[in-house]
A and B are shown apart, each in its own frame.
Chain A
């Protein structure tokens, strides 16, 4: 049976009514991101009619207490503000289910509750489970769900799971998690969320590359000198995040997932179609083509790790990484990492991708810059001042999302002198309307069964394979490269500059 009124109405896969069950329902992610995202979808008229939300967590709470807590935070953080009349109706869709994650009876009761909701909804039993708890509970939750039969499709109704990162801490743990997840849910029903892929500019990478005829012909080693992917954060370990971060580090926290995902979008071949697997097949080929830095010597030559020492950020004095709250004073966890990544494909042969991520850098910025080769110096190279450098195409992911292109222009005057000028496109200037939050888009996609913007199992494992070599060289080798230092508020360690200088490159000034 289909709904004829849906035909031609909106140009996206149609999300279906479902019950969203959030494990870890009392956590920050649920309060600050997930529930506000669902509320904003309702405000925009995008939330399918009949969506219910069940929060699953260990603390004792009534439905009313739970809803009140969500309301308080929604008032603070909701993108579209907080409308009492709408919230009043929205809160009625929310209920709270108390249970330990290991308690089989709690899942049985959850199943009964979901069945009752399905009956109220006229028998439509689509279910979307969201694992927003701490990752150590994923095993228990998934096993208990399987035992309670919550993973089963009923007739045409689906049962899907969204898994929040981290997808493991290394390759074996990722494989273990994937095995557990896929023992409960088929891969086609598994949605590994990487909120970077839900960002407007990340989605725009494919549009920029494949919907504009001028870029694809020059998107290769013949014209591109290097690619830089930078994620800079000015924050340190505020709010007690040192406890988590010190066990993770920049490489595992950001590079393995977000930054390698961005890299794959830049480096992938054109997909045969825009289907989820069409796109992800091409992305995984990029991961498989990453040259492995699988000896300590290769890691030392291609990767730099660092920790910040005391310095100044935005004029404020800040302490060093090892002095941060909940960080081991002798920690060997990197707060900064720069990696020279080589993608061994015909297209990218010899083109380095420099990926860096650091805490306590001068400002917050995530961007991808494509550095084109310089023109031959035959015409202008001999002029005073020479050529001011090659063209650079920059895709700003956050903040100030947009695209700029650096081109060379003649300075006005009677003599022939050249300077770089920038053509700049800002989303905020051209499109006044704010973009939906990444979680809004991704939740809707999961309800619609569109997994394009979610990571597939093989992508995750291939990314871990690359990262694990580096981690092993750092932590299990006697020839481990040293932990470098940089002053908080600087652009990272000198060794990271030297990493590029050794290949005739330099970091782009952000």
Chain B
């Protein structure tokens, strides 16, 4: 870290003086209100991540009052050390009162990375839930004694080199009976407004009547967002009651050169072919198109657009509407996710189908 980057993290203090130094920080400014609804840990195994995560915390605290705990690991460092900094992010609430959230940043190096739990979590605000934003691949540090402390785990599977292995690791945590952790994958969050848009279009009775005859699905996404595309498809299949396992149809599609093709059987017994295409130039999730003979339901997002275009086209019946698109930056997705809260039960419902699609390539 450069001196400038370190300065952006605030005042460097010894780990054992954090509480006292925080008190001094507040005593120095009586005009501010300290607000906190949760402990928000931003965890990365990239030692250079503190600066960018401090920026993310600055943005997140505008809407989500929290104690932010920034944790960076330098596992390759030869010497064991722990450095810590404190600062506060202050915002004017509704243009009036200055509301501040504390930020504690930690850089754990070398063998000190093993002291994550007893060093960092000694500084959580008591009685508040722990939201843990794990950035990057799940490593060996993600283990039972850590995840049992977490109330809400946020990951982004889009960046994982091996998502199958990553999800299997999460499965272990989620099936642990003593674990109440809620899992949020930003790849799933990226599909939120697409799902709302599809649902909104199928509120239309004409679209509902066509649902039983759906025979094709097309999804276009950036290659980096494969998990989002497959989650979207898994959600469609789960909610509509489409059955997987039509191996013959699938083999035929794959033989024809379609790598990301899937074949489902509808409730009515019809065959549905789903194709996922990759386009570097598209929005992270660019197109979701559901076709039945004569009818098309589509949701599109142009690259860079802030809105989704919803369209239902059936003979003599065309409906179009715009709706908000999902955010692009990770911190905005985290902010959206924190606003929605909940136990994320829909994702749990969709997970088995998603895992099946994910592992089928």
Contacts and interface: CB of A to CB of B under 8 A. Distances in A.
Interface stretch (B8-16, B256-264, B318-326): B318-326
Contacts of A16: 203
A11 B33 CA distance: 32
B321 A50 contact: yes
A404 to B, nearest CB: 13
A122 B205 contact: yes
Given A86-B322, A432-B63, A6 B205 contact: no
Contacts of B208: 1-3
Given A49-B204, A426-B97, A429-B99, A89 B322 contact: yes
A430 B198 CA distance: 33
A49 B346 contact: no
Given A6-B199, A48-B203, A429 B319 contact: no
B206 interface: yes
A45 B195 CA distance: 11
B160 interface: no
B353 interface: no
Nearest to A424: B33
Nearest to B325: A45
Contacts of B206: 122-123
B99 A17 contact: no
B165 interface: no
20 contacts: A1-B208, A5-B239, A6-B199, A6-B202, A6-B203, A17-B203, A43-B324, A49-B200, A49-B204, A89-B321, A120-B317, A122-B204, A122-B314, A122-B319, A428-B94, A428-B97, A429-B33, A430-B35, A432-B61, A432-B93
Contact of A8 (B94, B201, B314, B346): B346
Interface in A415-432: 426, 428-432
A3 B345 contact: no
Contacts of B169: none
A123 B346 CA distance: 31
Contact of A431 (B65, B211, B319): B65
A3 B63 contact: no
B84 interface: no
A433 interface: yes
Interface of B: 33, 35, 37, 61-65, 91, 93-94, 96-97, 99, 193, 195-206, 208-209, 211, 236, 239-241, 307, 310, 312, 314, 317, 319-324, 339, 342, 345-346, 349
B323 A5 contact: no
A42 B323 CA distance: 7
A140 B193 CA distance: 43
B93 A5 contact: no
Contacts of A42: 321-323
A85 interface: yes
B209 A17 contact: no
Contacts of B324: 43-45
Contacts, number: 115
A479 to B, nearest CB: 48
Contacts of A89: 320-322
Nearest to A11: B342
Given A5-B239, A120-B317, A429-B35, 12 more contacts: A2-B208, A3-B199, A4-B211, A4-B240, A6-B203, A8-B346, A43-B324, A45-B324, A49-B319, A86-B307, A89-B322, A433-B339
Nearest to B204: A122
Contacts of B317: 120-122
A137 to B, nearest CB: 33
Nearest to A122: B206
Interface residues of A, number: 37
B80 to A, nearest CB: 38
A316 interface: no
A9 B199 contact: yes
A13 B241 CA distance: 22
Contacts of B241: 4
B262 to A, nearest CB: 18
Contacts of B196: 9-10, 45
A7 interface: yes
B195 A428 contact: no
Contacts of A433: 63, 339
Contact of A49 (B195, B209, B307, B321): B321
B167 to A, nearest CB: 20
A1 B321 contact: no
B310 A49 contact: yes
B240 A5 contact: yes
A403 to B, nearest CB: 14
Question: Which of A5, A10, A17 has the largest number of chain B CB atoms within 10 A?
Answer: A5
Nearest to A7: B239
Interface string A49-70: 1100000000000000000000
B202 A3 contact: yes
B201 A426 contact: no
A124 interface: yes
A428 B95 CA distance: 10
Contacts of A5: 195, 198-199, 202, 236, 239-240
B301 to A, nearest CB: 13
A45 B99 contact: no
Contacts of B204: 17, 49-50, 121-122, 124
A434 interface: yes
A106 to B, nearest CB: 28
Nearest to A120: B317
B239 A431 contact: no
Nearest to B326: A45
B334 to A, nearest CB: 14
A426 B342 contact: no
A53 to B, nearest CB: 13
Interface string A347-376: 000000000000000000000000000000
Contact of B93 (A8, A123, A426): A426
Most chain A CB atoms below 10 A, which of B195, B201, B239: B239
A8 B195 contact: no
A49 B323 CA distance: 9
Contacts of B240: 4-5
B339 A45 contact: no
Contacts of B322: 42, 85-86, 89
A121 B236 CA distance: 24
B87 to A, nearest CB: 18
Contacts of A124: 204-205
Interface in A8-55: 8-11, 14, 16-17, 42-45, 48-50
Contacts of B199: 3, 5-6, 9
Given A7-B239, A428-B93, A432-B91, A50 B202 contact: no
Contacts of B346: 8-9
Contacts of B345: 8
A1 to B, nearest CB: 5
A8 B307 CA distance: 23
A431 B91 CA distance: 12
B93 A4 contact: no
Nearest to A49: B200
Contact of B99 (A14, A44, A49, A428): A428
Interface string A79-91: 0000001100100
The 6 A-B pairs at the shortest CB distance, nearest first, are namely A432-B63, A5-B199, A122-B206, A428-B93, A49-B200, A429-B35
A430 B65 contact: yes
A295 B282 CA distance: 75
A431 B66 CA distance: 10
